[in-house]
Amino acid sequence: MKTRIALTALLALSTAAGALTMTASAKPAPAPSIHSYILLDRTGSMEPIWSEALSSVNAYADGLAALDGGPRVNADITLAVFDAQDGLQFDVLRKDVDPNNWNDVTSGEVNPRGMTPLYDAIGQIVSLAEKDKPEKAIIVIMTDGEENSSREMTKTAAKAALDRARAKGWEVVFLGAEFSNFDDAEGVGQTSSRNMAVSKDQLSDSMNRLAQKSKSYAAGAAPSVEWNAEDRAAAKEDEVKERTGTGSGNNRNQPR
């Protein structure tokens, strides 16, 4: 009887020790990851809203880094700006930067100039993403005007590039900065739910909202990144439409 009790005790101790060993050796699941590619229009017509545009990019980085009760993600941000001066000018200002290590982008680094080679710039930002091969990515395109100076990419070619991105499950979002004509966006395959006109004083708020949506998408809590009625009201989209009109972007592409 005593032997049986002793054996039972030893077995219990062995089982408990094994459970502790398994618990100690178990590693927490890695946080979901996402790579954000921000394509910022730096053409001449952006000058009146340039400070707000740069602040909104920084707000996006802050939103990704914030521990606000939402999902925690491992994130990288690549920021590129574009314009045209005798051809496409495409400059990568930040490459694969962890938002926790983000240095605010300022007007001391980059200022508005030139024309709008939107299709060419789309081709370049998609190419960057394809070289990185992230599992999940979001391409954010912020512009205040229409395509007017691409030389390398046509609308069809730009659409094909974004179609490749969408086929990988990556999200593509357009923000019209004081701009409501999304003919170019729709021409490259964008659905209206992923395009939004934003008042300049709401750019930072909208980009912070986008950061939260990006984290939810990365974590699998949301299947896509889309703007809802609350986002549009906060962005003052209707006011932008009233100020600019659906087809009023034609005069917003001249350099200053």
pLDDT at 34 over 50: yes
Alpha-carbon gap, residue 199 to 185, rounded angstroms? 18
* Assigned domain for 26 exists: no
Residue 42's nearest CA partner among 12, 81, 74 is 81
* Assigned domain for 158 exists: yes
- Given pLDDT bands bounded at 50, 70 and 90, which one contains residue 231? very high
Contact 43, 115 (CB under 8 A): yes
pLDDT at 243 over 60: yes
Average the pLDDT over 231-241 and give the result. 98
CA distances 195 to 6, 140, 174, 190, Å, are 71, 10, 5, 7
Average pLDDT across the chain, whole number: 89
pLDDT at 31 (0 to 100): 84
pLDDT at 156 over 90: yes
Contact 226, 216 (CB under 8 A): no
pLDDT digits (tens, 9 = 90+) for 163-212: 999 999 999 999 999 999 999 999 999 999 999 999 999 999 999 999 99
pLDDT at 251 over 80: no
pLDDT at 248 over 70: no
pLDDT at 69 (0 to 100): 72
* Type of residue found at 252: R
Q: What angle do CA 39, 131, 210 make, to 5 degrees?
A: 35
Element (H, E) at 157: helix 155-167
Domain count, the chain: 1
pLDDT at 1 (0 to 100): 47
Average the pLDDT over 247-256 and give the result. 40
C-alpha Rg value of the chain to the nearest Å: 23
pLDDT at 20 over 80: no
pLDDT at 155 over 50: yes
pLDDT at 252 over 60: no
- The phi and psi torsions of 44 (rounded to 5 degrees) equal -55, -35
Give the CATH number, domain containing residue 188: 3.40.50.410
* Assigned domain for 66 exists: yes
* Assigned domain for 214 exists: yes
* Assigned domain for 65 exists: yes
Q: 75-108 b/e with 16+ CB inside 10 Å = b? A: bbbbbbbbbbeeebbbeebbeebebeebeebeee
pLDDT at 254 (0 to 100): 40
* Assigned domain for 177 exists: yes
pLDDT at 52 (0 to 100): 98
Domain enclosing residue 198, as ranges: 33-252
* Assigned domain for 4 exists: no
pLDDT at 187 (0 to 100): 97
Six-digit token string for 39: 């394509």
* Residue that the structure tokens 């209707």 belong to: 238
Which pairing describes strands 137-143 and 195-198: parallel, antiparallel, or unpaired?
unpaired
Strand partners, 67: none
* Assigned domain for 18 exists: no
* Residue that the structure tokens 């490259």 belong to: 188
**Higher per-residue pLDDT: 255 or 239:** 239
What pTM does this model have?
0.86
pLDDT at 28 (0 to 100): 65
pLDDT at 95 (0 to 100): 98
Dihedral sign, CA of 221, 223, 226, 230?
Answer: negative
pLDDT at 26 (0 to 100): 60
pLDDT at 112 over 90: yes
- The phi and psi torsions of 3 (rounded to 5 degrees) equal -65, -40
